[in-house]
Amino acid sequence: MQYDVIDARISPNGSLDVLSRLEVGKLLNASQGELYPLFRNSSLAVLNYGGHLDDGRELLERYKSFDIRVIQEERGIRLDLRNAPASAFVDGKMIKGINEHLFAVLRDIVYVDDTINNNPRFDLAASDGITNAIFHILRNARIMRPRTNPHLVVCWGGHSITPAEYDYSKEVGYHLGLRGLDICTGCGPGAMKGPMKGATIGHAKQRIAKGQYLGITEPGIIASESPNPIVNDLVIMPDIEKRLETFVRVGHAIVVFPGGVGTAEEILYILGILLDPENSRIPFPLILTGPASAAGYFEQIDQFITDTLGPVARTLYRIIIDNPETVARKILEGVELVRQFRVKTDDAFYFNWLLKIHLQFQQPFEPTHTNMSLLDLHKGQPPHLLAANLRRAFSGIVAGNVKEAGIRAIEEKGVFELRGDARIMQPLDTLLTAFVAQKRMKLPTSTYNPCYRLIADGS
């Protein structure tokens, strides 16, 4: 099948004007490691917004002839695009929002490679060093807004949800926007776009002209969750772990909508952090919500959390069904508690420095067959460490579902094997089986072939 493509040469829209010759050389020379392919593939994902692909590899195969090059000129830089998706253009001119996102990709990839990686100033083997690197990436992207009260709400949820769930996420976003709250999501479609879209109306009614719609992504997932057009601040973090830490460092509350494996991974991440005794005094509002049709979904999530992490984990969140206004009011009340706590402890409003995040949640997890089989999915360990290992299990399933490397690994070596206590494997099997039945693993038009096998000890 042929897809419409276009050639173009574009200039940055104020986001990035100057690169050194060394930086340009790194991008131009694909033989110097992974930088150029990383830039090329992430750029293609940005240009393809609206394609609704659930398979990162399919996007790369669809536009095999796509190429993007950095051109250094006397007045700055330009990007030369060949065989780019035509949907990114109107009457031959690139859509401004996509232009901004494209140069955000270039900005972040160059900065991480040139300033963060292999720099002794950033010890990426230490917890504090990783957090420091995240702060500098965000500061370079200029997305933090100092001298303003806490008001950024992180919204998590699936990218392929039902129309009722999408409409509900918009309604929640609307009520958050009416209360002057900004939105941060994973930047893609579905439950990531809905709250932003609703908030734009709420902000418009309140005459809020500079609302922030922050999208945070990473190269491994961007192809299946291309940035939606409402995002006005985009950041590409180096990996999923730094992406997740960014959410909880810059956000002041979290709302979780229905989703699938990726959403479960996010829930386990925040619960693991909040279960850590070192964070017991830090307020962090967490609400799980959806329309009436999603009540069963959250009952399953709630039961899984109780069965695996214990009843204490259940006290760290609240489930609100089919009541967007109550969600917004409770979030606003929670954000005020966050503000009071930050004032009392002299912590920054724009970056949660006091939150303790251990290396188990920060170190990049490579979902190889060996690593997946070695995950410690057993009782007898502190709940926050079990949450960290369960989070990695879900991260591996996400990779096997939608990430190019994960899909190829499954094709070459078969499905991942997860081993653990029956008391964990049984609830996990129940939850994943429900996700498959509800078509939360893939788009509803797709047939899902599991990329995993669950094995209980002794079986």
Q: How many residues does the chain have?
A: 459
> Quick one: what percent of the chain has pLDDT higher than 90?
66
Q: What is the pLDDT of residue 31?
A: 45
> What are the residues facing 68 on neighbouring strands?
81
Across residues 374-395, what is the average pLDDT? 95
Per-residue pLDDT at 449: 82
Bridge partner residues of 153 (DSSP):
183, 253
Q: Specify the CATH number for 5-118; select among 3.20.20.70, 2.60.40.10, 3.30.1850.10, 3.40.50.300.
A: 3.30.1850.10
22, exposed or middle or buried, with CB in 10 Å at 0-12, 13-18, 19+? exposed
Note the pLDDT tens digit of each residue in 20-45. 677 666 666 544 556 788 888 889 98
**pLDDT for residue 224 is more than 80:** no
Reported confidence tier of residue 437, pLDDT bands at 50, 70, 90 = confident
**If we measure between CA atoms, which residue out of 349, 368, 438 comes closest to residue 148?**
349
Token pair, residue 361, equals: 């949640």
DSSP state of 293: G
State the average pLDDT over residues 231-258.
96
| Nearest residue to 376 via CA among 421, 410, 416, 432 | 421
Q: What is the CATH number of domain 145-459?
A: 3.40.50.450
3 state SS of 270: helix
Q: What are phi and psi of 340, to 5 degrees?
A: -65, -40
Q: Model confidence over 289-329: pLDDT tens digits?
A: 999 999 999 999 999 999 999 999 999 999 999 999 999 99
| Segments making up each domain of the chain, as ranges | 5-118, 145-459
Separation of alpha carbons 81 and 335, rounded Å: 43
CB–CB of 306/319 below 8 Å? no
| 188 has pLDDT over 70 | yes
Which residues 6+ apart lie within 8 Å of 78 measured at CB?
Answer: 9, 10, 11, 12, 70, 71
pLDDT in tens, 334-369: 999 999 999 999 999 999 999 999 999 999 999 999
Q: Give residue 30's pLDDT.
A: 46
**Cβ contact 433:426 at 8 Å:** no
